[in-house]
Amino acid sequence: MDSAAAPFSRESLKQARRLVVKVGTRVVTHPDGGLDVVFLDRLARQIARLHERGCQVIVVTSGAVHLGRAVLGPTRGKETLNYRQAAAAIGQPELMRTYAEALRAHGLVSAQVLLTMDDMTDRQRYIHVRNSMELLLRRHVVPVVNENDSVSVEGVTFVENDKLAAIVATKLRADLLIFLSDQPGLCTADPRLDPEARLIACVYPGQDPGAEAEGAGGAESRGGMRAKLAAARTASDFGIPVVMVAGDLDNVLLRVLAGEELGTLFVPGPAREARKVWIATAAEPAGSIMVDSGAASALRRPGGASLLPRGITGTEGGYEAGDIVRVLDPQGQEVARGLVNYPASEVALLVGAHSSEVLDRLGHVGHEEVIHRDNMVVTGE
Ligand code: GLU
């Protein structure tokens, strides 16, 4: 039990029915470049057991770039985007083939799902992705997801699979997200370098283990841990428990699902509705709306207000009505994100307007709110 006061404990994980399992490159490959088929066999066996119990498992795996790199050979200097795209194009079919074989050996059908960030930011596309994944899951297929690195320009440079896994978990309303990693969990320092390193068993909502975990790893692995932390937060903030755990432990998935104290548990915050999940986890907002301090605090108040024209001081970017925009306070800090009711050209006309002036300024009747509260997620809420 993590804490008597906590409403959520390891025991609660026994109830999980839909799982997202993120497999890191170092977990699925050997240092020399090849895939670890023994690991994949053990993973497939556990997934088969989970299926027998009525669980659904979505795998999000890395490894494509690493596999392709072994074929292409080293580059001189920094790897270019094209090099990574080419490496992924070589590695992905190999990665998928090996997953498919491992799963088939345990009687499971797999499906390759390659996603770019656009598939998640565009609501129509995201709904299609979700529906096709739901169909796969209903038919007891194991979706094996990776980023579509070979065509994903922004994605390769900005998105780690940790984030992809967190987004997939929120979009598909998973009950649990498990990061299988080459570390025992979130530690106070890199356990490979520091004998004093301690595993952080539990992270509660609102608690920031960042400073403590900051020391984990050298310059190379720090980014990795930070990315993992941010991804874990994305999921746990939306009500999904996250467990970060060593991928090489025997029966690791089954044991986590049995409530065993392994790795680091991120206790979930209160769940939120799907639309808000989509707004908060969508990629780059299409623009920004600047507001005065009065409007900023009205938005930040618990159960607070919609964004009205009156508090707006400026606008930036060429967004359309229905796009996601950032709301910034006078210091440039993000206050919220939301679906905007007007295009940028009209928001510019509405700066500072009283509600009664909307018709005059635009020449047509519009929404009273520039962003309705229901379509808004306050940052850090
Ligand atoms: N999608 C990349 C791959 O398959 C990995 C990205 C990551 O390491 O997070 O190689």
Distance 191 CA to ligand 1 centre (A): 23
Q: Which atom from ligand 1 is nearest to the alpha carbon of 92?
A: 4
CA angle 145, 151, 153 (to 5 degrees): 105
Distance 271 CA to ligand 1 centre (A): 28
User: How does DSSP classify residue 203?
Assistant: E
Residue type, 24: G
Distance 8 CA to ligand 1 centre (A): 31
**In the chain, alpha helices (H):** 25-28, 37-52, 64-72, 81-104, 117-121, 123-138, 153-158, 161-171, 210-213, 219-237, 252-257, 274-281, 293-300, 344-350, 358-362
pLDDT of residue 114: 95
Helix, strand, coil shares of the chain, percent, nearest 5, are 45, 20, 40
Q: Which atom from ligand 1 is nearest to the alpha carbon of 164?
A: 9
Pocket of ligand 1 (CB under 6 A): 25, 62-66, 88, 146-147, 149, 160-161
The pLDDT confidence band at residue 127, using thresholds 50, 70 and 90, is: confident
For residues 117 and 230, what is the distance between their CA atoms, to the nearest angstrom? 17
pLDDT of residue 281: 75
pLDDT of residue 380: 66
Q: How many other CB atoms sit within 10 Å of the CB of residue 89?
A: 16
Pocket test for ligand 1, best of 26, 28, 66 (most atoms within 8 A of CB): 66
Residue 314: which of 357, 353, 351 has the closest Cα? 351
Task: Please write the tens of the pLDDT for every residue from 21-44.
Answer: 999 999 999 887 799 999 999 999
Distance 159 CA to ligand 1 centre (A): 9
Sheet hosting strand 176-181, strand order edge to edge? 109-115, 141-147, 56-61, 18-23, 176-181, 242-246, 264-266, 202-203
Q: Which domains does the chain have, with CATH numbers?
A: 3-277 (3.40.1160.10), 285-378 (2.30.130.10)
Q: Are 11 and 259 in contact (CB under 8 A)?
A: yes
Distance 25 CA to ligand 1 centre (A): 7
Distance 5 CA to ligand 1 centre (A): 38
Task: Please write the tens of the pLDDT for every residue from 209-265.
Answer: 765 565 444 333 334 677 788 889 889 988 899 999 999 999 999 999 999 999 999
Q: Which atom from ligand 1 is nearest to the alpha carbon of 149?
A: 1
Average pLDDT for the chain: 86
Task: Please write the tens of the pLDDT for every residue from 92-112.
Answer: 999 999 999 999 999 999 999
Pocket test for ligand 1, best of 146, 152, 159, 226 (most atoms within 8 A of CB): 146
Task: Please write the tens of the pLDDT for every residue from 277-332.
Answer: 778 777 678 999 999 999 999 998 877 789 999 999 999 999 988 889 999 999 99
What's the token pair of residue 253?
Answer: 């998935």
Task: Please write the tens of the pLDDT for every residue from 345-365.
Answer: 999 999 999 888 888 888 877
Q: Which atom from ligand 1 is nearest to the alpha carbon of 24?
A: 8
Distance 44 CA to ligand 1 centre (A): 20
Average pLDDT over residues 123-142: 89
Distance 184 CA to ligand 1 centre (A): 20
Average pLDDT over residues 52-78: 92
* Percentage of residues of the chain with pLDDT beyond 90: 54
> Going by CA atoms, what residue is nearest to atom 5 of ligand 1?
62
Pocket test for ligand 1, best of 28, 113, 160, 167 (most atoms within 8 A of CB): 160
Distance 66 CA to ligand 1 centre (A): 8
For residues 292 and 243, what is the distance between their CA atoms, to the nearest angstrom? 40
Residue 177: which of 237, 239, 240 has the closest Cα? 240
